Chains A and B, each alone.
Chain A
Amino acid sequence: MTSTTTLRPPRNSQSLLRRREARAGYLFVLPFMVVFIAMLVVPLAYSGYLSMFRNQLVGGVSFVGLDNYVRALGDATFTDGVARMAVFLVIQVPIMLGLALLFALVLDSGRLRMKRFVRLSIFIPYAVPGVISALMWGYLYGPDFGPFAQMGRAIGLGTPQFLSAEFMLFSIMNIVTWGFIGYNMIILYSALRSIPTEIYEAARVDGASEVRIATAIKIPALRPALVLTSIFSVIGTFQLFNEPNILATIAPNVIGSGYTPNLYAYNLAFVGQEVNYAAAIAFLLGFVIMVVSYVFQLSTRKGDA
């Protein structure tokens, strides 16, 4: 605006205000966007670029198009890892979210004594870094001085083999469940607390039981929060790394270099020096996560109309 007239028509001042607001909007999102582009968009694009090349001792770097992806899809180590995560997803996520939902409903029901203690004790494991919970559970599971092994021996049942090939995946499921139920419970519980209480009063007047209120009012109202926690759980599951990486030090024969896709990508890039192939694996994994999350979102939307 270069106009210096004192009597500006209102429409102009209106558009001036609009422009000011827009300028402020850009300014406020700019810092985040700069970091977002530098730390997320650029690496992602670079990852895609890297995945199309091959670096060989003889001949150096050459463009190979989608060869790395073709190789990954035929690579049993990778596909087994993805399948293992799918099993993990199908078993662990429903258990974790089901329990988180149950605990949140119990806390919200008002029928509980010692509510604060219960809420905190469920939530506290979230404060423990995944690496440390894996270390801790690794010792707890351990055959030497793990309390479960000690108890098993004391009553003559022998030592439970938590860290064997057979049970390892379930042992990891337990570690993840222990660590993240509280986090999911807090999200769901917060959602419950934002439902206006008048609805319950009305339902009670109509003679609805607590269980009926939970199933007919509370759970439907929790739908957005459940979708959110489910998607986060899908993302978390496919990215599993900390627990297997730590437990591999205890059970190297059970957890190979490709036990989870993430572990595989890490080992390819930093142990095997196959950066281009690792980039393709990581990219493909991102793709799998997006597809599964998207399909999940679509399938939960069907109920709405």
Chain B
Amino acid sequence: MSTISTSARPLTGRKAPTSPTARKSTVLTVAMVAVGAYFLLPLWWLLVASSKSNADLFSSFGLWFADSISILGNLGDVFTFQNGIFLVWARNTAVYAGVSAIGAAVLATAAGYAFATLRFKGSTALFAIILGAIMVPLTALAIPTYLLFAQVGLTDTPWAVILPSLVSPFGVYLMRVYAAGAVPPSLQEAARVDGAGELRIFVTIVSRLLAPGFVTVLLFALVSTWNNYFLPLIMLNSPEWYPLTVGLAQWQSTSQAGSGSQALFSMVITGSLVSIIPLVIAFLFLQRYWQTGLATGGVKQ
């Protein structure tokens, strides 16, 4: 990074590396739009299928609308089934993902900054251990964590999902690389000469410089918690604590068991659509930020 942006504004400065004479290729464009279609097709199907009644799902072509549009009825089913448990799941998901992501990003930012710019004994060894932890499979941890939580009565509470999600070794790694590029040592020196304490330097000066990287780590943590299934599946027993992923999977297995509950198909499909809408919208607005942290993190020689 040659320039340091002092706000959480994503980098959009660099022009595409084209020579002025580079022609746009129609063949390439057509090919890539076809590729894009492959990625969008399942989502298109989901949208179309959400507009169908259970009977229409079986009797009409999957990639086009049926004669009658049943989306409102399906939405009604989703939000009222089992006394509106879907909304409870949505709230849980937002809380788990929000709290975990903010916590994980704050912890990773503070640690990454210290590893990048502050000299202290043992920092290299500590950082090496954290890097090694990226390779530890989360599931190798989930089962013993469940047993430990069971002993202290934390299972089947929101903490059982939030606490393990606060650890983001990759976030520390990203922030270390990012901070090394974004915080000029001269700035810290100058602040120290002026008598500012380390904490004040971090809060008033450094935090602004690190904002774009922070947002990147936040997004990664948000998506990984939002998408998490294994951990809540293990930790939670009460449906009122489920996130959307576990709840929908349960509806799915109920509908497949087919205990006279065939009507669940359209509900699982519509519920899936509703639960990805917030994330897709967030992606549309925040996608620029993904690159900011990554452009300096982990990808430079």
Question: What is A's interface to B at a CB cutoff of 8 Å?
Answer: 17-18, 20-29, 31-33, 35-36, 38-40, 42-44, 46-47, 50, 103, 106, 108-115, 117-133, 135-137, 139-140, 144-147, 150, 178, 181-182, 186-191, 193-195, 197, 200-201, 204, 210, 221-222, 224-225, 228, 231, 235, 238-239, 241-242, 245-246, 249-250, 262, 265-266, 269-270, 275, 278-279, 282-283, 285-286, 289-290, 293
A278, B167: Cα distance in complex, Å: 23
The answer, yes or no, to whether B236 is at the interface (CB within 8 Å) is: no
A224 near B252: Cβ-Cβ < 8 Å: no
Shortest beta-carbon distance from B136 to chain A in Å: 6
Q: Assuming A31-B110, A121-B40, A275-B147, is B121 touching A22 (CB within 8 A)? A: yes
Chain A residues, Cβ within 8 Å of B107? 31-32, 35
Query: What are the interface flags for B81-125 relative to A under an 8 Å C-beta threshold, 1 for contact and 0 otherwise?
Result: 000000000000000000000000011101101110011110100
DSSP majority for the A interface? helix
- Measured CB to CB, the nearest residue on chain A to B136 is A286
B144 near A46: Cβ-Cβ < 8 Å: yes
Listed A/B pairs (25) with beta-carbon separation below 8 Å: A17-B192, A21-B198, A24-B114, A24-B118, A25-B120, A35-B107, A40-B136, A46-B148, A47-B143, A109-B28, A111-B25, A113-B29, A114-B29, A114-B32, A122-B36, A127-B279, A127-B280, A128-B43, A136-B45, A194-B1, A197-B17, A201-B19, A235-B135, A245-B249, A249-B249
B198 partner, pick from A24, A144, A222, beta carbons under 8 A: A24
B144 partner, pick from A47, A109, A188, beta carbons under 8 A: A47
B299 near A289: Cβ-Cβ < 8 Å: no
Chain A residues, Cβ within 8 Å of B25? 111-112
10 closest A-B pairs by CB: A147-B62, A110-B18, A24-B198, A25-B120, A191-B299, A28-B114, A25-B118, A121-B36, A190-B294, A32-B111
A123 near B295: Cβ-Cβ < 8 Å: no
The answer, yes or no, to whether B22 is at the interface (CB within 8 Å) is: yes
A35 near B42: Cβ-Cβ < 8 Å: no
A285 near B143: Cβ-Cβ < 8 Å: no
Q: Assuming A25-B120, A31-B107, is B167 touching A121 (CB within 8 A)? A: no
For chain B, which range describes its interface: under 10, 10 to 19, 20 to 34, or 35 or more residues? 35 or more
- Measured CB to CB, the nearest residue on chain B to A221 is B301
Shortest beta-carbon distance from A196 to chain B in Å: 9
B299 near A265: Cβ-Cβ < 8 Å: no
A233, B178: Cα distance in complex, Å: 23
Q: Find the residue from A111, A144, A282 having the highest chain B CB count within 10 A.
A: A111
- Measured CB to CB, the nearest residue on chain B to A38 is B163
B145 partner, pick from A43, A191, A262, A290, beta carbons under 8 A: A43
Shortest beta-carbon distance from B60 to chain A in Å: 8
